[in-house]
Amino acid sequence: MRKEKLSALIADNCPLVCETYKNIASKITKKTSNFSFNIDITYNCNGAYDIIKRTIEKETKLDFVVLDLKLKPSSNRKILSGEDLGFLIRKLLPNTKIIVVTDCNDNYRIHNVIKSLNPESFLTKSDLTSDEFKNAIKNVANNIPYYSKTVLKLLRKEVSSNFIIDTIDRQILYELSIGSKMKDMPNYIPLSAASIEKRKRHLKKVFNVKDKGDRELILVAKEKGYI
């Protein structure tokens, strides 16, 4: 039987991890599956964006993306993480399926990604084995959602707030983390200085940060995997 050819992108900071994912996916096709893969690899947001742009320009397809949330930001500061990249994929390639893989196990962060990105598969690296990754790929390829056990466990827990940390919020957190001054942020973020300050105050409230400075906010945001 002729196998269906699927196009995939693996985006992770670590080259070894990317090669491991690719090898596992390749092994699937050698056994009982009815599909095979054409796989691209990238280690940062710039590379991923180039592949997405190429896919659109050539009017080809990208069946699914394996996406690490902690990707190196793009050089223009517009794509700051794997989550931002996921938003871009949802907008430009709505038929592309997303497999999120993360080392984050923060309850609020997991809920936020589910609400904002709604990936077809969501795996934590603490759960990740060769078999777990195979199961995710097989399920997603057959239009079946797949979440790892830690993600499912965290989803059963309620979160204290329904507030979603969006792209603008993450841009603010990123600029704070690299030492940008508030007066300069409107150059990178499409909001006025007053609106950015208002968002920052709300982020402190969401993260239960009492300190008037930004240091504690940055530390909490890093701990939760937002920067």
| Whole-number pLDDT of residue 89 | 96
Confidence label for 161 from pLDDT (cuts 50, 70 and 90): low
Confidence label for 197 from pLDDT (cuts 50, 70 and 90): very high
| Whole-number pLDDT of residue 2 | 67
Q: Provide the angle, in degrees to the nearest 10, between the axes of the packed helices 215-223 and 193-206.
A: 60
Range 145-165 burial, b when 16+ CB lie within 10 A, else e = ebbbebbeebeeeeeeeeeeb
Average pLDDT of the segment spanning 133-138: 93
| Whole-number pLDDT of residue 163 | 67
Query: Phi and psi (nearest 5°) for 86?
Result: -60, -40
| Whole-number pLDDT of residue 212 | 80
- Cβ atoms 175, 188 nearer than 8 A: yes
Neighbours of 227 (CB within 10 A): 21
CA distance 10 to 217: 31
Average pLDDT, the chain: 90
pLDDT tens digits for 72-106? 999 988 899 999 999 999 999 999 999 999 998 88
For residue 187, the Cα-to-chain-centroid distance in whole angstroms is 25
Sequence-distant (6+) residues with CB within 8 A of 116 are 83, 87, 164, 165, 166
- List the structure tokens of 213: 């400075």
| Whole-number pLDDT of residue 139 | 93
- Cβ atoms 35, 1 nearer than 8 A: no
Paired sense of beta strands 4-11 and 64-68, if any: parallel
Q: Provide the angle, in degrees to the nearest 10, between the axes of the packed helices 215-223 and 167-177.
A: 120
Average pLDDT of the segment spanning 146-155: 91
Q: Determine what percent of the chain falls in helix, strand and coil, rounding each to the nearest 5.
A: 50, 15, 35
Average pLDDT of the segment spanning 173-196: 91
| Whole-number pLDDT of residue 3 | 73
- Cβ atoms 41, 22 nearer than 8 A: yes
